[in-house]
Amino acid sequence: MGTPEFSVPTLVALRSNFYVAGVVTQPDKPRGRGLKTIPTAVKKIALELGLPVIEPARIVATEVLDTLHDWNPNIIVVAAYGKILPEIILNLPSHGCVNLHASLLPRHRGAAPISGAILAGDTVTGVCTILMDRGMDTGDILLKEEIPISNEDTAGTLHDKLMERGAALVVGTLRAIVEGTTRQSPQDHSLATYTRPVSKADAAIDWSRDAQYLGRLVRAMNPWPGAFFELSGETIRVWKASPEEGKATPGRILSLCGDGILVGAGDGMLLLREVQAPSRNRVAAMEFARARGLKVGVDLRQKSL
């Protein structure tokens, strides 16, 4: 059971190492400006692999449960499926349901563990496999692997690292289950933290926040939805930025140099290095500054220049 690109390496790895009876994914949805109906990443790969696919709107629909019973799974593997499984499905496979989660549980439970780890300033994250129960990411840990977070990692680069490591971890977990060598480790629920789905509003740059946080925000919102600020009625995306030491009025341009646009923050300063105006390509921040005629002293919090 899986839906986005994150799930694809796990499906491919399972298909290469085990018998996959079938695949469950989210229904096709209209996407893009033309609202063209596009299959999920998992559905596309599953069909290429010749696997049976169902995409129920309701996971507890009678026909869905009938199909799952017909497949008679020993294990159900869940990787970013996007829906909470009811107890009737959790109890269906003889060896239970195994979930791949992109954090070191119990830290960053929920829908956005990758961006959550970057925003929190974590230096290490990882992937876990857990034996699912009725809670949200609360099951016993089966296997886990730590991965360092670099100062240059974005949600996109970290996503790609974790999805590949996660696929290997799932294969290792299933082999351990087959061999009877798994060890279940209960989570310490008192240490749990939670994340929620990222929205576009979460990506707005508040210049009163400290520069370290804003630097993490830019990385955590890359590639979606992209950290942004408003300038003369336009949404300007910030794709690369770095925190700097110093003191300046929040939102005010302190200097324009070869490295970028240095802007004051609540504590410290943020050096904008790559930005994007609406319907334009990403450009070096200084190229943007020259095109817009930005000057030292301009306040990026004002409605218009």
Q: Which residues of the chain fall short of a pLDDT of 50?
A: none
Instruction: Indicate the number of domains in the chain.
Output: 2
Let me know if residue 272 belongs to a domain: yes
pLDDT of residue 31: 72
Gap between the Cα atoms of 137 and 100, Å rounded: 9
Predicted pLDDT of residue 35: 73
What is d(CA 171, CA 164) in angstroms, rounded to the nearest whole number? 11
- Measuring CA to CA, how many Å separate 174 from each of 137, 170, 177, 232? 18, 6, 5, 55
**Domain harbouring 82, CATH code:** 3.40.50.170
Residue 186 lies in a domain: yes
Indicate if 74 and 173 belong to the same structural domain: yes
Euclidean distance between CA atoms 23 and 258, whole angstroms: 51
Instruction: Tell me the per-residue pLDDT of 122-180, one tens digit each, with 9 for 90 and over.
Output: 999 999 999 999 999 999 999 999 999 999 999 999 999 999 999 999 999 999 999 99
Q: What is the CATH number of the domain that holds 249?
A: 3.10.25.10
The pLDDT score that the predictor gives to residue 1 is 98
**Is residue 297 domain-resident?**
no
Task: Work out the end-to-end distance of the chain between its first and last CA atoms, rounded to an integer number of angstroms.
Answer: 50
- Picking from 129, 127, 115, the residue whose alpha carbon sits closest to that of residue 165 is 127
Q: Establish if 177 belongs to a structural domain.
A: yes
Single-letter amino acid, residue 241: A
pTM of the model: 0.95
Same structural domain, 188 and 205:
no
Sign of CA dihedral 238, 219, 203, 281: positive
Angle at 55 between CA 10 and CA 7, to 5 degrees: 15
Give domain status of residue 299, yes or no: no
Range of the domain at 118: 5-195
Q: Does 303 fall in a domain? A: no
Joined tokens for residue 184: 């279940």
Residue 22, number of CB atoms within 10 A of its CB: 15
Q: Quote the CA–CA distance of 4 and 114 in Å, as a whole number.
A: 14
Q: Does 305 map to a domain?
A: no
Per-residue pLDDT of 133-148, as tens digits, reads 999 999 999 999 999 9
Nearest to 140 by CA among 112, 111, 115, 177: 177
**Do 206 and 157 belong to one domain?**
no
In a domain, 90, yes or no: yes
Choose one of 169, 195, 221: the last residue of a domain.
195
